[in-house]
Amino acid sequence: MEQTTTKREDISSIDYQEFVINMGPQHPSTHGVLRLMLKLKGEIVEVVQPHCGYIHRGIEKMCEHITYPQTIHLTDRLDYLSAHMNNEAVCLLVENALQIEVPERVKYIRTILDELTRLASHQLWWCAFGMDMGALTTFFYGLRDREKILDIFEKTTGSRLIQSFNVPGGLMNDIHKDFQKEVKEFIKYFRKILPEYDQLLTGNVIFQQRTKDIGILTKEDAINFGVTGPSGRGSGFSCDVRKIAPYSAYPYVKFEEKLQTKGDTFSRYMVRMHEMWESMNILEQLIDNIPEGTHAVKMKPIIKLPEGEYYQRVEASRGEFGVHVISDGNKTPYRFKLRSPNFMNLSVMHHISRNHKIADLIAISGSLDLVIPDIDR
Amino acid sequence: MIKEYFKDVFSGIASLLRGMKVTLSYFVRPSTIITQKYPENRAELKMFEAFRGEVVMPHNENNEHKCTGCGICEINCPNGSIEIISKFEVGEDGKKRKVIDQHIYRLAMCTFCGLCIKTCPSNALAWGQEFEHAVFDRTKLTKVLNQEGSTVQKGVKE
Amino acid sequence: MPFNIYDFSTFTQWIHEALTSAMSPFWVVTLEILFVGLAFLLFYAVIGLFLVYAERRVCAFMQCRLGPNRVGFQGLLQTVADLIKLLFKELITIKYADKLLFNIAPFLVIIGSFLALAAIPLANGLHAVDLNIGVFYIMAVSSIGVIGILLAGWSSNSKYSLIGAMRSGAQIVSYELSVGLSIITMVVLAGTMDISEIVELQRGGWFLFKGHISAFIAFIIFLVASTAEINRGPFDLAEAESELTAGFHTEYSGIKFAFFFLAEYMNMFIVASLGATLFLGGWMPFHVPFWEGFNTVMDWIPPFVWYIAKTGFLIFIIMWFKWTFPRLRIDQLLTLEWKYLLPFNLFNVLLMALLVLLGLHF
Ligand code: SF4
Ligand code: SF4
């Protein structure tokens, strides 16, 4: 395979036509405190150097000092838009390590919540992406629909964004009695609304021209850089953990892994749009078949993982989220390592946005859908 | 070539018009407005039962709660939001018992993970639905959950 | 006092005569200039503030929101409150900014739009100057604003501002052409550049309907190109808040920022007025030939209302553009102009000339 890594270019040497500009840490479209140092030649971006760490909280280190159930409230705060999946990774890891079989009901509810989280996350991505492109109205349409999911979350889990709903061994509490009805109502509603998204943004000629053939990431590069999730699938890299290593109720459902081959910004966009449809399909398969049972198995008050190394990955909304735990048999992990998808996705930034314009850089970073706390951890 | 050029123009215009149709359709339908007039609708604004507003300790009409002062919630809280201060009390049977003096809860530090509520052996804690937490003085965010003069409910096992 | 809501010329004439009989011509002119200036300043401020409010309400309704609705009746005083707030804000000047240019720039931007307002007839006989080259004059002065934008970007000594200013330069240079050509199309049809005469010519029917397809194409091109010329979304590349934070006015604060803001809205107003005048008959009521009853009813509506309604309609369309479309990239912007608008425009001028020559227009 061709060696595609790019060497880190020196940003300090600039000629008289070039200049260096700091995009961030406070910039409207870096969605948080990401700092991109750009070397520009007029409008053309020559070098992108991401500087992260502005929101570094040392979560991995913090996790070494707290018990397994307590880590839940920290993994929530990585990629806050896929909080539920992150929690699920930790819970699955603990359950697998202790060889606990959770009730079917738990698996179903977890999967349903996973897909709802993915939908909510993609909705937010869609509206923020539109806003990055200058279509400000998309922002409100996306948020309006996301609000409906958050209400469903709130009714069952008590929180809207970071739910801390998963616990090792099951769920915090059982679902609300209206849960199924509301999810079904939402799907009905959103199936009607989603074509509107397409009319407003996808089909728009300005939008298409701004995204097509921009920021092309080849399949090889996606694999080399470890770009996963919708961003990787936009390049044709089949990396859906739900398919490769099914967990929870994913083995029971039929769904397609949506792949695009071109790898440009528009492909990444389309993958996410298709995934929204696909999420609704998955939800429809599960929502009526939630088996009866308890919402959690009884766990020991103090969870100790047997000595050894454990790895569990799940498909978060932005890619493969992995938890790697080295346990020395204590109630706290010896080492807690997180594989956060956004960090990998950010790493291709320079590679794919070189020689594009500033406006393209914004489109590319929007299509990678970065969540900064997940990068910095 | 020319045909393509005109096709581009017309399909472009058509796509723009489709977008404009969507925004106009919302513009002429004020019923789709979803804004809630917040301070005005306070009276009918009900949070869901499960809503995690704050941790509270429910008391019954005799000013009794269920907290035994065991301190499990304090151990389980990941960030030290809870502090249990207990005292010794001579019960009716003449034995000295450890009871709760102050169950201190720091709302400002709480991450609403729910572990304290889940792990409390006597179900003494619950979620409160209050969400207007803004205060001018942050010491007000440190609360004592057991009310003044409250006692432990009978029948709660130690 | 011969005040007639359907014809202001008698009223202005009356004022002029009353003044002339009372004092020397020098004082008459001075007083009149002062009076007109004050009236326009007031008009400018009121329209500007109202447009900001209108924009916020329109976009709110398009986005399923309510928009400002607390200050005053339905939030009408919101922008006034905002203005007062902006007045109290600190004026920050950057250490390495070019002080003189930095301070002049907002005024230049305002002056451009203010001057253009003078030549537009707001109602029958109600305009500051009735130039015989009115259209040309408006075209000329409205491009003063871009100098302000360029200066603002340059003198702020900030890279974001500079990129914004450069973009705006490229944009205006190219789109001025399209606006100009589409206006020329209408001038060909009218045969005059005198705005009041152009309005008068539309008594029988608006140019938009008189000029067949050609006028219609010119109208569309005018709308698009002038939206671009006034730097409004989807052509707001000079500002592009998701790319350049705020573009050329990144470094401005307080009332100077408010000037840029106000100028943007006034430019929109002027462009809409010009469009209304050239294509929709200015203050002229809507007439359908041979429908006498209908025409009389239309004549009952005062010209000023007609003018405001037409301008408001065009402003709504421009706002509608902004709140629907994503922003163009700089090269797309130039492609649109040079590859699509310009050829269409040139062809359109020829077509219009042909129509006029053959007398095919109504
Ligand atoms: S609240 Fe519950 S866990 Fe905490 S001290 Fe009281 S009884 Fe124990
Ligand atoms: S909810 Fe969590 S953070 Fe808050 S007091 Fe309880 S255990 Fe502590």
Paired tokens of C291:
């429908």
Q: Looking at residue C3, what is its pLDDT?
A: 64
Size of interface A-B (CB pairs under 8 A): 65
Give the start-to-end residue ranges of the domains of chain C: 9-358
Sign of CA dihedral A149, A155, A157, A158: positive
Chain A interface includes C336 (CB < 8 A): no
Q: Do residues B124 and B65 share a domain?
A: yes
Q: Residue B133's domain is classified under what CATH number?
A: 3.30.70.3270
Q: Which of A159-173, C188-202, C277-291 has the lowest mean pLDDT?
A: C277-291
Residue C5: pLDDT over 80 = no
Q: Do residues B27 and B79 share a domain?
A: no
Angle of the C254-279 helix axis to the C99-118 helix axis, nearest 10: 30
Q: Looking at residue A1, what is its pLDDT?
A: 40
Q: Do residues B23 and B76 share a domain?
A: no
**Backbone φ, ψ for residue C5 (5° rounding):** -70, -20
A82 DSSP assignment: G
* Residue of chain B minimizing CA distance to A65: B78
Q: Do residues B77 and B141 share a domain?
A: yes
Atom of ligand 2 nearest to the CA of B117: 6
**Does residue A37 lie within any of the structural domains?**
no
Query: Do the chains contact at C242 and A207, CB–CB below 8 Å?
Result: no
Q: Residue A186's domain is classified under what CATH number?
A: 1.10.645.10
Element (H, E) at A167: strand A166-167
- Report d(CA C126, CA C136) in Å as an integer: 19
Chain A interface includes C325 (CB < 8 A): yes
**Does residue B158 lie within any of the structural domains?**
no
Q: Do residues B60 and B24 share a domain?
A: no
How confident is the model over C100-134, as pLDDT tens digits? 888 888 888 888 888 888 777 777 666 767 777 88
Cβ atoms of residues A286 and A249 within 8 Å: yes
**Does residue A33 lie within any of the structural domains?**
no
Task: Say which residues have a Cβ less than 8 Å from residue A265's Cβ, sequence separation at least 6.
Answer: A210, A211, A212, A214, A215, A360, A363, A364, A367
Query: Do the chains contact at A204 and C328, CB–CB below 8 Å?
Result: no
Paired tokens of A258:
């949506």
Greatest Cα-to-Cα distance within chain B, rounded to the nearest angstrom: 103
Paired tokens of A246:
């099914």
Predicted model pTM: 0.86
- Report d(CA A237, CA A128) in Å as an integer: 25
Counting every residue, how long is chain B?
A: 158
Contacts of A201 in chain C (CB under 8 A): 326
- Report d(CA C232, CA C220) in Å as an integer: 16
Tell me the nearest-neighbour CA distance from B25 into chain C, angstroms.
8
**Backbone φ, ψ for residue A171 (5° rounding):** -125, 160
Cβ atoms of residues A37 and A49 within 8 Å: yes
**Does residue A30 lie within any of the structural domains?**
no
3-state class (DSSP) for residue A114: helix
Q: What angle do CA B58, B60, B63 make, to 5 degrees?
A: 100
Residues framing ligand 2 (Cβ under 6 A) = B 55, 76-79, 81-82, 110-116
**Does residue B19 lie within any of the structural domains?**
yes
**Does residue B131 lie within any of the structural domains?**
yes
How confident is the model over C131-183, as pLDDT tens digits? 778 888 888 887 787 888 888 888 888 888 888 888 888 888 788 888 888 88
Q: Region B92-111: what's the mean pLDDT? A: 80
Residue of A29, A133, A207 best to disrupt the C interface, most CBs of C under 10 A:
A133
Q: Region C275-295: what's the mean pLDDT? A: 75
Domain of A334 in residue numbering reads as 55-376
Q: Which of B7-11, B146-150, C342-346 has the lowest mean pLDDT?
A: B146-150
Percent of chain C having pLDDT more than 90? 0
Tell me the nearest-neighbour CA distance from B32 into chain C, angstroms.
6
Q: Which of A285, A227, A211 lies closest to A254 in space, CA to CA?
A: A285
Paired tokens of C267:
């430019």
**Backbone φ, ψ for residue C94 (5° rounding):** -80, 145
3-state class (DSSP) for residue C276: helix
Q: Looking at residue C125, what is its pLDDT?
A: 66
Tell me the nearest-neighbour CA distance from A204 into chain B, angstroms.
5
How confident is the model over A173-206, as pLDDT tens digits? 888 888 888 888 888 888 888 888 888 888 888 8
Q: Do residues B62 and B132 share a domain?
A: yes
Domain of B28 in residue numbering reads as 2-32
Q: Looking at residue A6, what is its pLDDT?
A: 47
Q: Where are the alpha helices (DSSP H) in chain A?
A: 59-63, 68-75, 83-98, 104-132, 136-157, 179-197, 205-211, 219-225, 229-233, 241-244, 265-287, 341-347, 349-353, 358-368, 372-376
Residue C7: pLDDT over 80 = no
**Does residue A32 lie within any of the structural domains?**
no
Beta bridge partners of B142: B106
Atom of ligand 1 nearest to the CA of B57: 1
How confident is the model over C77-101, as pLDDT tens digits? 888 888 888 888 887 777 787 888 8
Q: State the total domains in chain A.
A: 1
Tell me the nearest-neighbour CA distance from B93 into chain A, angstroms.
32
Cβ atoms of residues B8 and C343 within 8 Å: no
Chain A interface includes B33 (CB < 8 A): no
Burial class of residue A308 (count of CB atoms within 10 Å of its CB; 0-12, 13-18, 19+): exposed
How confident is the model over C322-346, as pLDDT tens digits? 888 888 888 888 888 888 888 888 8
Nearest listed ligand to the Cα of residue B55: 2
* Residue of chain B minimizing CA distance to C224: B13
pLDDT bin (cut points 50, 70, 90) of residue C2 is low
- Report d(CA A373, CA C116) in Å as an integer: 50
Q: Looking at residue A4, what is its pLDDT?
A: 45
* Residue of chain B minimizing CA distance to C57: B27
**Does residue B49 lie within any of the structural domains?**
no
Q: Looking at residue C213, what is its pLDDT?
A: 78
Chain A interface includes C131 (CB < 8 A): no
Q: Looking at residue C224, what is its pLDDT?
A: 86
The alpha carbon torsion through C57, C58, C59, C64 (nearest 10 deg) reads 80
Q: Region B28-51: what's the mean pLDDT? A: 82
Cβ atoms of residues A341 and A42 within 8 Å: no
Q: Atom 2 of ligand 2 has which residue's CA nearest to it?
A: B113
Q: Do residues B76 and B20 share a domain?
A: no
Nearest listed ligand to the Cα of residue B105: 2
List b or e across A338-366, with b for residues whose CB sees 16 or more CB atoms inside 10 angstroms: bbbbbbbbbbbbbbbbbebbbbbbbbbbb
ipTM of the complex: 0.81
The rounded mean pLDDT for chain C is 80
Instruction: Give the pLDDT of chain A (377 residues) as one tens digit per residue.
Output: 444 444 555 666 667 778 888 887 888 777 778 888 888 887 888 888 888 888 888 888 888 888 888 888 888 888 888 888 888 888 888 888 888 888 888 888 888 888 889 888 888 888 888 888 888 888 888 888 888 888 888 888 888 888 888 888 888 888 888 888 888 888 888 888 888 888 888 888 888 888 888 888 888 888 888 888 888 888 888 888 888 888 888 888 888 888 888 888 888 888 888 888 888 888 888 888 888 888 888 887 788 888 888 888 888 888 888 889 888 888 888 888 888 888 888 888 888 888 888 888 888 888 888 888 888 87
Q: Which of A343, A337, A336 lies closest to A319 in space, CA to CA?
A: A343
Q: Do residues B122 and B64 share a domain?
A: yes
Element (H, E) at B88: strand B82-90
Paired tokens of A329:
């048999």
**Does residue A127 lie within any of the structural domains?**
yes
Q: Looking at residue A5, what is its pLDDT?
A: 46
Query: Do the chains contact at C64 and B32, CB–CB below 8 Å?
Result: yes
Q: State the total domains in chain B.
A: 2
Query: Do the chains contact at A205 and B11, CB–CB below 8 Å?
Result: yes
**Does residue B45 lie within any of the structural domains?**
no
Atom of ligand 2 nearest to the CA of B114: 1
Q: Which of C158, C303, C320, C157 lies closest to C232 in space, CA to CA?
A: C320
